[in-house]
């Protein structure tokens, strides 16, 4: 399983004072040195953490892979095409939410999403669709030409009992198996942490996990390098 690190929270701390530190660009470089396979950042419409300057500099400095998480709006699509990340992960975005709350309705927006994917493919940018572990959504992602899916693991991460956690793990496993059967690259993320990753990594069909909150939270106490290295070891 590959590990990509979402560095949005570093920018969130910077924005708490509206200044220049801590810099998510520096964080990205340390994550890469510590063994991350890629860096994820979410350029939100309201620029609440990552901003346009960050995306520009991350593109210039990242040596692994830049995964630009984004809503499929005209403005952000334009920025993504100028930036040329290796990958865009399309997510639904609500202004009031604290974090991404669930997967895309790919099935209900097939025509629009197909056009967006085609546009990215014209620029050699791969596309991943963030979806809940629901067969119809995964089937629709495949049907409209997505290269990858990222399975939303929030429900699994929020399980309150061990039984519930195991049940929800199986839901994700089935979704991942379906993705693989359809020939998609299968990523996963949201709410994965140092505790639940040991169970989660038993899903052999997952190609890559994207983790932010848990790693950046641990980094506050042990430093980013060690936080990434520790997650790296657990993911492997
Ligand atoms: N994947 C997606 C699509 C996300 O929106 C997020 C949160 O920004 C993550 C993964 C990472 O989630 P977490 O910060 O809970 O590890």
What pLDDT is stored for residue 46 in this prediction? 94
Give catalytic status of residue 142 as yes or no: no
Q: Which of 125, 164, 166, 170 is closest to 151 using CA atoms? A: 170
Q: Which of 168, 177, 161 is nearest to 200 (CA)?
A: 168
pLDDT of residue 171: 98
- C-beta 211 within 6 A of ligand 1: yes
Assess contact for 209 and 192: CB atoms under 8 A.
yes
Residue with tokens 């004072």: 17
Q: Work out the number of other CB atoms within 10 angstroms of the CB of residue 204.
A: 11
What total number of domains does the chain contain? 1
DSSP 104-126: --TGGGHHHHHHHHHHHHHTT-E
Span 79-121, pLDDT tens digits: 999 999 999 999 998 777 777 779 999 999 999 999 999 999 9
Q: Residue 185 and residue 178: Cα distance in Å, rounded?
A: 11
**Mean predicted confidence (pLDDT) in 29-38:** 98
Report cis status (omega within 30 of 0) of the bond before 23.
no
CATH number of the domain that residue 48 is part of: 3.20.20.70
Q: Tell me: the pLDDT tens digits for 132-187?
A: 999 999 999 999 999 999 999 999 999 999 999 999 999 999 999 999 999 999 99
Residue that is written with structure tokens 């693991």 in the block: 153
pLDDT at 94: 78
- Residue 128 pLDDT more than 90? yes
Indicate if ligand 1 lies below 6 Å from the C-beta of 4: no
- Pick the catalytic residue: 9, 49, 142, 190? 190
Is 42 an active-site residue?
Answer: yes
Helix axes 213-222, 8-17, angle to 10 degrees: 60
Task: Report residue 136 CA to chain centroid gap.
Answer: 21
Q: How far apart are CA 176 and CA 144, in angstroms?
A: 18
Is 152 assigned a catalytic role?
no
Q: Alpha carbon of 219 to those of 7, 71, 156, 163: distances in Å? A: 11, 28, 23, 30
> Structural domain of residue 15, as residue ranges?
2-235
The predicted model gives 5-32 an average pLDDT of: 98
Can you say whether the dihedral through the CA atoms of 174, 172, 91, 219 is positive or negative? negative
Rg (CA), the chain: 17
For a substitution probing ligand 1, which of 100, 192, 215 has the most ligand atoms within 8 Å of its CB? 100
Query: Which atom of ligand 1 is the closest one to the Cα of 154?
Result: 15
Cβ–Cβ under 8 Å, residues 32 and 61: no
pLDDT of amino acid 98: 76
- Identify which of 24, 99, 156 to mutate to test ligand 1's pocket (most ligand atoms within 8 A of the CB): 99
Mean pLDDT of all residues belonging to the chain: 97
Residue percentage of the chain with pLDDT more than 90: 95
Q: What is the pLDDT of residue 167?
A: 97
Average pLDDT over residues 123-135: 98
* Total-model pTM: 0.97
With H, G, I as helix, E, B as strand and everything else as coil, classify residue 148: strand
154 in ligand 1 pocket by Cβ < 6 Å? no
Q: What is the pLDDT of residue 96?
A: 73
Alpha carbon distance 212, 209 (integer Å): 10
Task: Out of 11, 12, 38, 40, give the residue to mutate to test ligand 1, the one with the largest number of ligand atoms within 8 Å of its CB.
Answer: 40
DSSP 8-state code for residue 127: E
Query: How far apart (Å, rounded) are the C-alpha atoms in residues 123 and 115?
Result: 13
The answer to whether the peptide bond before residue 22 is cis (omega within 30 degrees of 0) is yes
What is the rounded distance in angstroms from the CA atom of residue 101 to the CA atom of residue 154? Answer: 8
């Amino acid at each position: 399983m590959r590990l990509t690190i979402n560095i949005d929270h570093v920018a969130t701390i910077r924005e708490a004072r509206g200044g220049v530190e801590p810099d998510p660009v520096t964080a990205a470089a340390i994550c890469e040195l510590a063994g991350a396979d890629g860096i994820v950042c979410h350029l939100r419409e309201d620029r609440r953490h990552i901003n346009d300057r960050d995306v520009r500099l991350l593109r210039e400095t990242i040596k692994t892979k830049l995964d630009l998480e984004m809503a499929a709006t005209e403005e952000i699509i334009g920025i993504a095409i100028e930036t040329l990340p290796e990958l865009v992960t399309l997510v639904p975005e609500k202004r009031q939410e604290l974090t991404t709350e669930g997967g895309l309705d790919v099935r209900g927006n097939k025509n629009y999403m197909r056009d967006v994917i085609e546009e990215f493919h014209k620029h050699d940018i791969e596309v991943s669709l963030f979806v809940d572990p629901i067969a119809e959504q995964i089937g629709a992602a495949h049907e409209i030409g997505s290269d990858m899916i990222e399975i939303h693991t929030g429900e699994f991460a929020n399980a309150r009992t061990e039984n519930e956690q195991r049940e929800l793990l199986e839901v994700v496993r089935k979704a991942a198996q379906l993705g693989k059967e359809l020939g998609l690259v299968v990523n996963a993320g949201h709410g994965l942490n140092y505790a639940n990753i040991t169970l989660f990594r038993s899903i052999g069909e997952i190609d890559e996990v994207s983790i932010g909150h848990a790693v950046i939270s641990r980094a506050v106490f042990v430093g980013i390098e060690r936080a990434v290295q520790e997650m790296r070891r657990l993911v492997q």
